[in-house]
Amino acid sequence: MSQATLGDDEELFGEAANEMREDVESSLEDAWATLPDADDVWETDADNVLGVLNGLNSALEVGDAEEHLRDAKKWFTMGQRADAFDDADDLEEEIADLEEAITDISEAGEQVGELTSTIPALRGTLQDAGPAADSEATDDGDDADEDEE
């Protein structure tokens, strides 16, 4: 193999490594962009708790972030195995941060989903329970007794 060919191969490898890093960075950027905005999770214009929970549940969608993260990890892993990155600590740290953010958002979404199904049942239980409900039942019973007389 000639010296010129080796030089060309090194140059091609350097270009490929740069493109791989750009692919990882681009996928990470796309993933961060698809995550919910902090204000969307914090602010609401709902009239009741169920409306708040439904709005929050919708806001806690990670969209395509998981797919973009997968692409970033795929290219990052390939670049690491090829020893193509001079310094990849920043990429590795950002991938870990993104994974953590996606996990936190997904877990919060699950918790909100559970509350969304629990709160209406709890409201019904509270409406049907207690002294007010007992007196209504007694009143209904009194009406039935009067009808029988």
Going 75 to 78 to 79 to 84, the CA torsion angle's sign is negative
For the cut 50, the answer to whether the pLDDT of residue 149 exceeds it is: no
Taking the domains of the chain in order of start, what are their residue ranges? 3-128
Place of tokens 């960075």: 25
Q: What is the pLDDT of residues 93-146, one digit of tens each?
A: 999 999 999 999 999 999 999 999 999 999 999 999 877 655 555 555 555 455
Give the C-alpha distances (Å, rounded to integers) separating 23 from 9, 86, 90, 144: 21, 16, 14, 76
pTM: 0.76
